[in-house]
Chains A and B, each alone.
Chain A
Amino acid sequence: MPVTNAAEARRAKPDWPAVRLHVVTGKGGTGKTTVAGALALALAAGGKRPGDRRVLLVEVEGRQGLAQLFDAEPVAYEERRVAVTPDGGEVWAQSLDAEQALLEYLDMFYKLGPAARALRRFGAIDFATTIAPGIRDVLLTGKTCEAVRRRASHTHGGHGHGSHGHERSQQAGDRVFDYDAVVMDAPPTGRITRFLNVNSEVSGLARVGPIRNQADAVMRVLTSAQTAVHFVTLLEEMPVQETLDGFAELREAGLPAGGVIVNQARPVVLPEERLKKAAQPGGLDPAELEAGLAPVGLADPEVVAALSELATEHAQRVLLEAGQREELSATEAPIYELPLLTDGVDRVGLDLLAGQLRRQGAA
């Protein structure tokens, strides 16, 4: 596959070689799910043989965003393959559900039997997964960390996802872990630290006991060098501010901050000296634009006016974005930029974004 090889040759050295859990957060509307999908594709690429690389993509908010992203059937609690990279790497997806995770957990550790049914009947399961603060988050992060730690030889064990266990164990070969990497489409920036910092979230509540133990196990993975939390942002004031706040909170909580992924970056089409002028309304010389348009028969005053207005908008936007880019450098994190896909996100677009992430060293 010469194209892939050429792309691989231009590839930057990956910035996160030791990371196996990539948590992707971002303010609503920044394209967090899209970036998580592209990152999963990027991490799944680069294997020597088909099936060499295997990445799990988990969603924790039950929106079925992953299914839509990959144009696949609804993703369930069971892990399912949703995409294959051109070089045969696999992306699996899973939609985590706190209630199911709790029932599974109860079954595994307590063998509750009829008591579990009683719990559900009295609203205790609903209480634990939707209302009791922190428990839901412990369950979702716990389930994700379990996938990160799961060893390849355990795939046919009874973790409730045995359906593909045999198919997998045949190709498992000499792999150590079931998944080379896990990418989490996480809650938005405003809630990410609280979501991941399950330890402090349950600390006021459970000083000892099973929830505490579970929280401790989760924190060991989340605070280790195996984990990185990436922030998706647009070059706009609010998402950038939230990114800066998010980085500060995350670091304060001792959680490992990853990179900044600037999404929907627009190309700059005017040279710098023109930008400053164009940023002022009417700043471009209409006569010059008219002269430029004349050879193609478009030197109409209305067109000139419309294009001047467009130039002003563009220039204002570019200057604003430059300012925001500057702000982002305060995070001292690697910054990656993904282009705006004007025609919408489809698999081709995702592959393009994944290629960008690899070239820039994000994967």
Chain B
Amino acid sequence: MSEARVNRDSLNRGSLNRGSADAAGAEDTVKHLDLDGLLDSPETRIVVCCGSGGVGKTTTAAAFALRAAERGRDVVVLTIDPARRLAQSLGLTELDNTPREVAGIDRSKGGRLHAMMLDMKRTFDEIVLDHADPQRAEQILANPFYQSLSASFAGTQEYMAMEKLGQLRSRGEWDLIVVDTPPSRSALDFLDAPERLGSFLDGRLIRILSAPAKVGGMGAFKLLTGGVGLVTGALGKILGSNLLGEVQSFVAALDTMFGGFRERAERTYRLLQTEGTAFVVVAAPEPDALREASYFTRRLATDEMPLAGLVLNRVHRPQADITAERALAAAEELTNGKAAKRAARKNGNGAGNGRAAGNGAEPPLSAQEEAQAAQLAAALLRLHAERVVQSRRERRLTGRFLASHPGIAMLELPAQAEDIHDLDGLREIIARSA
């Protein structure tokens, strides 16, 4: 029976520091991310969940926001693209760019939860409407170049997420804002795109393009270097004169907002560097996701952005402490029938009937039932072996990440058998690990 030992501790304790030999050394020194401490602290004003696509950022952000609200904070969560049913459970049935209060949460500690989904085009439109006089705003909104830029530029979503974060913060209605980040090509786009869009809208090129339209042509050219003629000429060739004309009229209409965009982007960027902000890097224990997490962690350090830690999502852990090899050998024995014979001999029951002979208090099993039971046990042992192998691989990958980011705090969230689409599901994820 000693082989059947189960590490009771490992079943009860948090998922860290399990007694597995391969990664134990690395994990002994792992700092646990104190999620409740982070969410409870009144100092924490913004939590940004970032990471590559498909790692569960949105769900993590929603789960954190819900937990914080039920622990007494007044929270708003900004989601980018939630799964339909999750959105419904948060009451996000329409994309109207307005935070809505989420029903069905435990308010006994005085907290509240609002949720909203980002509508990037509308956010962009709102900036235009806020900053230009009505006639000019109308011109901008009707411009085809503006329409494509606001609806499809790969960086617009990132810029607008930052913009919305800045707006929510300045409204001052909530004491904690949890932000999900757009499903970017790479996690870094979130930090870079606003700057890129800001510097374009506020940059040299725009000034060159707007020059002829502004001063009626040649006057402006004299002020600038000889490169300008080349640039507008070449742009006309490539873009076609129509498009160039539209860009120029867009830029002319946008003129009043110059400086505004970059300044706004910079303000939000600085906000992210303040102490009230905590970045949480979300990853799954997969090579690509961890590589992105690694880049992002370094980038946050370079930009002096405060990192709270790594959330490792969808972690698989074996429930029983049986090695893969042992489980597979046992499954093999059960399948080829050797086990049954040996058990029969052990029972001193030469007839080979084992327990079916009825020598114990248990009701006897027929040969067929016995075979079925063996089949079931073998199938589950194989499943267990697979889980052990997967877990071993995940630990190896995580260990490597941790080795190159010593001192980073980590929180593991277990893989869920089913998709999460209600508040109970969101509560459960954290409850199972915190």
Contacts and interface: CB of A to CB of B under 8 A. Distances in A.
A and B are interacting partners:
yes
Interface of A: 27-30, 33, 61-63, 65, 68, 106, 110, 112, 114-116, 118-119, 121-124, 126-128, 130-134, 136, 187-188, 190-191, 194, 201, 204-212, 236-239, 241, 269-270, 274, 284, 287-289, 291-300, 302-303, 305-307, 309-314, 316-317, 320, 342-344
Contacts of A131: 149, 153, 155, 196-197, 200
B234 A112 contact: yes
Nearest to B288: A65
B53 A27 contact: yes
Nearest to A317: B417
Contact of A124 (B154, B205, B243, B340): B205
A119 B387 contact: no
Interface in B314-355: 318-320, 322, 330, 333-334, 339-340, 342-343, 354-355
A115 B233 contact: yes
B84 A296 contact: no
Interface in B162-186: 183, 185-186
A238 B370 CA distance: 41
Contact of B376 (A124, A201, A289): A289
Contact of A292 (B1, B286, B320, B373): B373
B149 A133 contact: yes
Contacts of B417: 312-314, 316-317, 320
10 contacts: A127-B200, A130-B154, A133-B148, A205-B242, A238-B419, A293-B4, A306-B6, A306-B11, A309-B319, A344-B393
Nearest to A30: B54
Interface residues of B, number: 95
A278 B256 CA distance: 66
B37 interface: no
A-B residue pairs, 10 tightest by C-beta: A29-B54, A28-B53, A209-B240, A292-B377, A302-B6, A292-B373, A28-B54, A300-B4, A306-B319, A295-B339
Most interface-central of A28, A30, A270, A314 (chain B CB within 10 A): A28
B125 interface: no
Contacts, number: 244
Contacts of A121: 227
B84 A310 contact: no
Main secondary structure of the interface of B (DSSP, over half): helix
A351 B355 CA distance: 47
Main secondary structure of the interface of A (DSSP, over half): helix
Nearest to A131: B200
A291 B354 CA distance: 10
B18 interface: no
Contacts of A294: 343, 355
B393 A124 contact: no
Interface string B75-111: 0000001011100000000000000000000000000
Given A114-B230, A115-B230, A124 B235 contact: yes
Given A115-B234, A306-B320, A316-B418, A134 B152 contact: yes
A306 B384 CA distance: 9
A79 B299 CA distance: 31
A307 B320 contact: yes
A270 B145 CA distance: 57
B358 interface: no
A289 B377 contact: yes
B222 interface: no
A292 B374 contact: yes
A4 B355 CA distance: 48
